[in-house]
Structure 1
Amino acid sequence: MKSRRFPLLLGLAAGLFATGASAAPDAAALARGEQVYARCAACHAIEANRTGPQHCGLFGRRAGTAPGYEDYSKAMRASTTVWDEKSLNVFLKDPMKVVPGTAMGYAGVKDDAERADLIAWLKQASRPGVECTVRP
Structure 2
Amino acid sequence: MAEHKKKSSGPKPGQLDRRIQEQRYGQAEAACSRLTALLEDLAKDGRLDGNQQAGQYLNSTRAYYRRIRNGKVMGPADFTAAADVCASVRRALTALDPALAFAGLRQADDLQQALQQGALVEAEMQKIKAAGKAG
If the length of structure 2 is used for normalisation, what is the TM-score? Answer: 0.31
The structure whose Rg is larger is 2
If the length of structure 1 is used for normalisation, what is the TM-score? Answer: 0.30
User: Between Structure 1 and Structure 2, which shows a larger proportion of helix residues?
Assistant: 2
